[in-house]
Amino acid sequence: MHHRNRIAPTSCLATCILTTGIATSVHAQGFATEVVEYVAGPGVTPGMGFGIPARALGGPQGEGHDNGSLDILVLGAGGHVTLGFGGTIFDAPGPDLTVFENGFWFGGGFYGELMFVEVSSDGFNWARFPSRCDISTPLGLFDTYDPALVGGLAGNREIYANVVTNMIDPFDPAVSGGDAFDLADLAADPLVVGGQVNVAAIRFVRLVDVIGDGTVTDSTGDPIYDPTSATASADLDAVAAIHFDATVASENATWTRMKGFWR
């Protein structure tokens, strides 16, 4: 986590796990309502500061072209968070969800800390969106890059929508900023083909920090580079479900107990 308006997180010596099955009030339907699981990597202390899971709930609080938000959950290097929505996200024409990380522009380039995006219907089977990284050389801690070289990863676009300070529609990717994802892009995923992941009924979204030193690869096997270090990782602001059915009862608490994460 390094950005304008960002504060460096407190480091921890080992990977930490913090989970909750308690819903938190949100600004509107279509945003995440529950943190099902939070596994923080090094560089963040769960439950403190930017390691408070509830920061990932509700709507985005973006700061525009050249500033990062402070309403964020830091994942820590290689960490991840699983969100529930109190309903289902479904595939329809156009983007179906938008992930708001915390990227911004400075010095003529883009600074983004990247995340894989995964979806699940049952909390057990996960389909990961296809990713592409054409950045050919490693990036330093404060280096920027051309976002056109990256696709299918969150953290690659600035955030304009702010549910507190402006009227920009967070459910319209044409104006909201953030990284939009279309469930139709998962049509060839083996778990979608096999029916284990139903793109007509997605209950959970998982965001996984990419350790961008080239050891992690994209969908074609090319190395992924971003400004990752021991204390720099993706910062999640919010996730907006664009095509959302709020009438479907949530099973998040049941799934949490089944997985053994209930606290």
**What's the pLDDT tens digit per position in 73-106?**
999 999 999 999 989 999 999 999 999 998 889 8
**For residues 9 and 72, what is the distance between their CA atoms, to the nearest angstrom?**
11
- In a domain, residue 39? The reply is yes
Domain that holds residue 56: 16-259
Instruction: Provide the pLDDT for residue 249.
Output: 53
- In a domain, residue 6? The reply is no
- In a domain, residue 4? The reply is no
- In a domain, residue 158? The reply is yes
How does the average pLDDT of the chain come out, rounded? 83
Are the C-beta atoms of residues 99 and 81 closer than 8 Å to each other?
Answer: no
- In a domain, residue 1? The reply is no
What are the pLDDT digits (tens) for 124-183?
Answer: 999 999 999 999 999 988 889 999 999 999 999 999 999 999 999 999 999 999 999 999
Query: In sequence order, what E strands does 112-149 have?
Result: 115-120, 127-128, 132-133
Distances (CA, A) of 238 to 122, 150, 199, 258: 21, 20, 20, 26
- In a domain, residue 116? The reply is yes
- In a domain, residue 5? The reply is no
Instruction: Provide the pLDDT for residue 157.
Output: 94
Q: How many residues does the chain have?
A: 263
**For residues 61 and 72, what is the distance between their CA atoms, to the nearest angstrom?**
9
Instruction: Provide the pLDDT for residue 71.
Output: 86
Full-model pTM: 0.84
Closest C-alpha to 232, from 140, 118, 123? 140
Q: Which residue has the higher pLDDT, 15 or 218?
A: 218
Across the strands, what pairs with 209?
Answer: 115
Q: How many structural domains does the chain have?
A: 1
Confidence band (pLDDT; 50, 70, 90) for 23? very low
Across the strands, what pairs with 245?
Answer: 88
Residue pointed to by tokens 């929505």: 85
What six digits make up the tokens of 66?
A: 């050249």
